[in-house]
Amino acid sequence: MDTDLLVFPIDPVSSSAARGDPEVRVYVNTEPIAAAGAVIRGGRALVPLRVVAEGLGAAVDWDPADRKVTIRDAPNVVELRVGSRTANVYGLIGNPVRVELDEPAVVEGGRTLVPLRFVGESLYVDVAWYERDRSVYISETGVNLTPDVWAEAVYSTKLESVEEFGKPTVRYEKFIAMELESISMEEVRLLFAQEPIYHYELGMYEVKSYIGGARDRIIFFDERFRWAEYAGDGLPLADTPAVTEDRFARLETGMSYESVRELLGGDGVVTRKGADFELHRWRSASEERDAVLRFGTFGGGGRKLVGFEWEKANGYDG
């Protein structure tokens, strides 16, 4: 027996679900679930528990003897029995809390169905139903994007052209696309599909990748996002043969970015930027060093070199 469906109530009067339309799409952390098998029954959207739970990092067990479903998402454990209107929820303390369900767990078509809203609240995830495209959105990243949000807040900005826009990932392209002199908190939420983490002791925000196993992150060193730094393996650093100590010694403050680019044999990689500055890094192919250059941005005057260092590159010994 599959134990892979959840139940989410929708409007039984206005919804096209009441007309028996065939397809309900499911998104977990903005990723579409292929062949999810979601359906509508009695004005409720039934979505796949196993796929959803595993997409959220939880595990699902089925005990056929006890007809019990157990969802494990440390430190939370949820236990439901088929036909019961109550469930047990275990948290950090370990003692169960008995919770009443709007609908009992049932078996239909060889699948166990349970209330989605209950499981969402138990596992601390957001759930939204979007009527126009008959989709269920499930998110653990703090922001649950729907097409309405995209239409109103995304397509009015140039950020929607960025690859992986609206996914909970940190990518270099997203970092470059941000204009810190004008970007808003709402645009940051939409771009990275998450609520930025605020570190009170440091006075800074952080966004990070939640999918794909990447550890990349962006730190905003000001509550108004006036400057930011990219950290992780996603920086497109490459060894540059023209970056040598001799050429580095020829740098002078006041040089234009174009002159520096010609001297060092190509573009650097932006690792930190603000409303009026950028920090670029060039990696030497021969000397295990990085040329780290700070440019001031002066509007119509372009970028001018204001400081530079010859640093030992990360990852080199000695």
Q: 144 near 190, Cβ under 8 Å? A: no
Last residue of a domain, one of 139, 156, 179: 139
Provide the number of structural domains found in the chain: 3
Q: Are residues 256 and 215 in the same domain?
A: no
Q: Are residues 8 and 93 in the same domain?
A: yes
Q: Give me the domain span that covers residue 131.
A: 2-139
Encoded amino acid at 182, one letter:
S
What pLDDT score does 93 carry? 66
Query: What is the spatial distance between Cα 85 and Cα 87, in angstroms, rounded to a whole number?
Result: 7
We report the CATH number of the domain holding residue 56 as 3.30.457.10
Query: What is the spatial distance between Cα 89 and Cα 152, in angstroms, rounded to a whole number?
Result: 38
Residue 317 counted as domain residue? no
Upper half-sphere CA count for residue 66 (Cβ side, 13 Å):
9
> Average pLDDT per run of 10 along the chain, which is 318 residues long?
52 43 72 68 69 82 91 85 87 77 72 70 74 76 57 56 79 90 82 82 84 79 86 89 93 95 94 93 90 87 91 60
Last residue of a domain, one of 116, 139, 162: 139
What pLDDT score does 288 carry? 86
Question: Exposure string (b/e) for 244-264, b if CB count within 10 Å is 16 or more?
Answer: beebbeebeeebebeebbebb
What pLDDT score does 90 carry? 85
What pLDDT score does 21 carry? 54
Last residue of a domain, one of 139, 158, 186: 139
Query: What pTM was computed for the model?
Result: 0.57
What pLDDT score does 317 carry? 37
Residue 297 counted as domain residue? yes
Residue 219 counted as domain residue? yes
Q: What secondary structure letter does DSSP report for 214?
A: -
Of 246, 157, 144, 158, the C-alpha closest to 195 is 144
